[in-house]
Structure formats: structure tokens, C-alpha cells
Structure 1
Amino acid sequence: MTARWQAIGFDPNVELNDYCVRDLSRVVGLGNYDPQHAGSSVRVFDLVFLHRVIAAKHFELPDAPNVSHYLEQTVTITLDLLFGNWWSSDIDRKSGRCRKEMVNWYCAFSVGLLSAFLLGRWEDANRISEYSLQSLKRTYIGPFDEDFDLIYLLISGEIVGKFGFLPESEMLDLLLKSRNRRARDAVHAWRCFKDANVSGFTEAIKEFLKRHRSHCKKLLADEYAGNSIEYGLAQPICTLVLLAESRGMPLGRISPRLSDYLVSRQSLGIEN
């Protein structure tokens, strides 16, 4: 049987992947940080590492570890990054190079929310989502036509029951104007999710995954991006699918060549 990493065209012998996935002792802290010197960057480093470990398990890489513990650590570090007091004693903060309101929230949302959903830690998912209402401002978010920031803001707003500095309709309009066709597919999926249209939601997810599959193959063939197995995960759609499932709206049938890009409890071996 073909492993998922083979199906998506990943090379498990890439040196950097070897370093990050198999030598777990290399991670900086996994929550055990020096309060005087460990600022946001070390936490983000750990989240990137943990994202890679989750992806390695999902894609069935050789020697990928069991991930339940690492999912728990991911949620803990995410909450610490967004709401902890690390910034008050961080040397970067004292030198003016780091501000609490400018943490890498996108990284935190992409892997932190995903992990909370996979674990069923809904209170923590709600807490992470609250950050978008409390701390994010329009001037900090960045260009929406280049990435999927807005999808995470839509998801977080849905979780807490209200949206922050941008109303839902404005975020959808911005996504529809995006140059990224996957962003437009995500809007269709979002609207079907809101309408509880399971068949429409499934078809929209399929379209997103078809484009993601093509995008992923190009990334994995790149000399520099090719060692990043986490790029294979179809984020932020993985998180949206998990949100829909939590609301009693499971996906319809999707072929394995597309569903390979969707992480789940089953794919991680933590099914109840």
C-alpha cells in the first residue's frame, strides 16, 4: 500500500526533514523556556517544528513519532505565545525589537487551532480564537491577497460567535478579490458551511484540494521548500473541515488522492 508521503511526491531522505522529525531532542523548549531570554521567536520555532511532526505522522513518514503528546504541547505553546507574560522580561522586548501585539499569530492559528480541534479541546480553541478579537488590528494583518489570514479570522470569529475589526461580509469580499484561486474556493466552501450545505461544501473542498495538490507538488519540487512536509497539509481547509465536523457536518466522499492532504484524528492514529 502506498504511503501518503509517496502519494504526494515527498522525499523522506531530505536532510532538513531528517533533522527536524527524527531528532526530537533538537527542539528548543517545548514549553520549558528561559523566562529571561526566550521570547516569541523560540515559541514560533517550536510551533513550526511541531507542525512538521504532525505532518510527518499524517503523511506516514518512516520513524514519525506518536503525536498525542506533541498536539498537547502545541496547544500549550500557542496559548503561551498569544497570552503569556514572556514579553515583559524578553530581552527583545526591552530592546524595542519585539512587541506583544506583533507575535506571529498566523503561525499560532494555523497549528494551534488545528491541534486544539484534533484533540477536541474546544475551550482552548475558543481562547485562541479570542486573540483575533482582543489583539489584532487592520494595520498589522498584512496583504490578504497573498495568503489565508482571513480564513483563520473567519474561523475564529465563527468559534467565538462574533467577528473582530472586519465584518464577515468584508472579509469574504476581500477573499473573492484575491489573486489566489484557492482563496476563492475557500469562500465557496465557507458559504456552504454556513448554509449547512453538505454536498456543496464537499464539492468546494474538492476544488480547493485539486488546486492545493498542484500547488503542493510544485512546492515539494523546490530546492528550498521541498524539505517542509507541513506544506502538504491543506491549510486552512483542514481546520475548516474539522470545524464543520464538530458542528455535525462531515464531508461527503472524497477520493484518497485528494483526502491525503486532509489531516484527521484517524490519520494521526488517535481515533477514539
Structure 2
Amino acid sequence: MTLLPHPLRPHMASSGFAVLALTLAPTSALADQVIEAADNATIDCQLSRGELSRIALIDDGFASVSKIASGYPYNDFEVTHEPVRGDIYISVPPLYASDRVSFFATSTAGYVYRFACHLAGEDATQLFITNPALRHADANDWEQQAGPDETGIRLIEAMASDAVLPGFTARAELSRPRRTGAIEVQQVAQYDGATLTGQRFVIRNLGAEPLDLGSEREGPAGALAFAYGRGVLSPGETTSAFLVFASGGLE
């Protein structure tokens, strides 16, 4: 697919794409932890002793929790399921014998997690869990519904407006600037979906003459869609460029 001329972003010159082709842990605190985990993963976290600990799944919810009794019914930790949001709350009494708790939990989306958490601190804690497979499924559904031509165009539009499409993840991706002749290109962001990847670049005209970026209609090999911010780049000016290709890279 080749992106047709767009009122905001017509095609990009092949001279700029010669450079584009070459370009090619979560923070944790006791009171607020964010952990990325896959299905069947073991999650090591910190829970409170003597206070409540909340565990929440991002874009999912807990359906059930399985644990064994400690043998001390009046001094065992308790797990409470909150059915509205699907969160679970862990209550560990101050005199609980061990410094760790362990249990299994199943989500409404069918993922199973094993928790092996140690006890630290007396303040209430929160743990948020993200599963990349959920984003991948959302992106795959959206890409299949929209179709390959529309997804490429809409991904470019999303990158141009700093928006994120369903299931896609966006991150800053600063590469070392690459220069070919009077053109300097630097990647600044990447958008990853189920089958498509989008990249955003900054193009600079370092020369003394205007650059006609729209004079060529061909993108790099393997590109599904490409666009740029303006057709002509005056000396000293910059513009954005956008590239979409199948996940896995350019051919």
C-alpha cells in the first residue's frame, strides 16, 4: 500500500528515506507499584503487614483467587475480591508467622498469575499489573476491523496528532541523527501494534537550497505507508516524517 496524497501530509521524498532506512521497567515504590507480567508469570511484589494491599489488573479484572490455609485460622492472611472493578485486597495481620505470602489468581480474560510477595511496611499499598497480551489483542482486533489501507493512514494520523490507537503502545525513541547530503533525519518516536509498527522522524534541511520532499513517490522497500509534514523544506527548516511497516522491520 502507498499512502495517497494527504491534505496535511503528502508523500516523502526518497532522498529522505535513504536516511530513514539507516536509522532503522517500571517505576516501583512501596505505596504504588506497577508490574508488567505475562500469563503464568510469577509476580514478586511488596505487600503491607497490618494494612490493606490492593492489587488491580489494568484493562482486566480478577475472577478468582486460590490459596491454602496457613494452619492458623485466626492469624492467616485474607484475600477479598471486589466484584465491581475486579480488584483484590490482601489483609495480613501483624502477627502473621511468615514474611511472605503466596497465592494464585485468575483474571476474567483467562490469564493466571502466581503471586509470591514479601511483606514490608505498615502503610496501605497498591499494585497495578499490566499484561502486554491484552494490548496486543486490542490492536489485532482494531487492525482487522479497519483493514490494511485504513490502518496505515490512521496510524500516521495518530502519530501526527500525538494520539494512540487502540492496543498500540507509544514510546520516545531517540536515535542518533543521520545525515545524507543536506538532509538530517532523526527518529523520535515509535508506535507498536499487533502487526503494524509506526515510526516518527524529524527531518532537517541543513543545506542552502530548498528541498522538494514531494518530488519522489516511492518509499523504502517494505514500507506500507509513508508521509511527511510539508512538501518543500526551506533551508534551516524542520518537518516530521511518518513511516508505517509490518511489525518485524523493513525488508
Question: Which of structures 1 and 2 has the bigger CA Rg?
Answer: 2
For Structure 1 versus Structure 2, the TM-score category normalised by the shorter chain is under 0.3
Q: Name which structure has the greater RCO, CA cutoff 8 Å, separation 6+.
A: 2
- Structure with the largest fraction of helix: 1
- Structure with the largest fraction of strand: 2
Q: Given the two structures, how large is their TM-score scaled by the length of structure 2?
A: 0.22
Q: Given the two structures, how large is their TM-score scaled by the length of structure 1?
A: 0.21
